[in-house]
Structure 1
Amino acid sequence: MVPFFAQCASRHLPPWKEPTMDKKTLILTQVIMTFMMAVTMSGIMSLIALGPTALWLSEWPKAALIAWPFAFVLGAIAFPVASRMANLIIRR
C-alpha cells in the first residue's frame, strides 16, 4: 500500500486539472488553521513578554481569542494573494 502523501506527490497534474477544495471544506480548513496559528503565536509571544508565570497562563487564552478573528480575516485575504505569488514564482 502506498502512503497518501506519496500518492499525492506522484501525480503531476497540469494546473488547470488540479483538484480544488469545495467551499465548505475550504472555510473549515481556514477556521482550524487560523485557530491553531492564533493559539500558537499568542502563546509564544505572550510567553516571551510575560515569562512562564501564572499571569501568562491566565492571559494566553484571552489573547488567543482576541487574535483568532484577526487571523481568520487576514488569512482569508492573504491566502489568495500568497497563492498567486507562489504561482508567479513557479510560473504556472
Structure 2
Amino acid sequence: ITIGNYSQVAVLITLDNLVSYYITNTYLPTFSLVIIAALTFFFPLDDFTDRIMVSVTALLVEAAFFTQVSSSIPKTAYLKLIDIWCLFCIIIIFFMILVH
C-alpha cells in the first residue's frame, strides 16, 4: 500500500486456541473417570473390594492423565484452568474413596 512517499505493509496474524482439542482429549475423559468412580456407590455394600478397586483404579488413571496433560502443555509459574480441573477431579475421586 502506498501512501504519498511512504510504503506501508499490513500483516494480519491470527492466533487460535484449540478449545475443542482440550475438551475432547482432557475434560471429557477426566469427567468420565469421575462418573465411573461415582458409579461405585451403586455397587452392593458387601462388595467393598470391588468398590475400592474401581475407585482406586480411577484415581490412579486420573493421576497418570494429569501427569501426561501437564507434560504436554507449556510450563508456567501459575496454575492453569486445566490444572485446576485435573486436581479437582483427583480430589473428588479421593473423597469418594474415603466415603467408601
| TM-score normalized with structure 1 length | 0.34
Whichever of the two has the greater Rg, that structure is 2
Which structure carries more helix by proportion?
1
| TM-score normalized with structure 2 length | 0.32
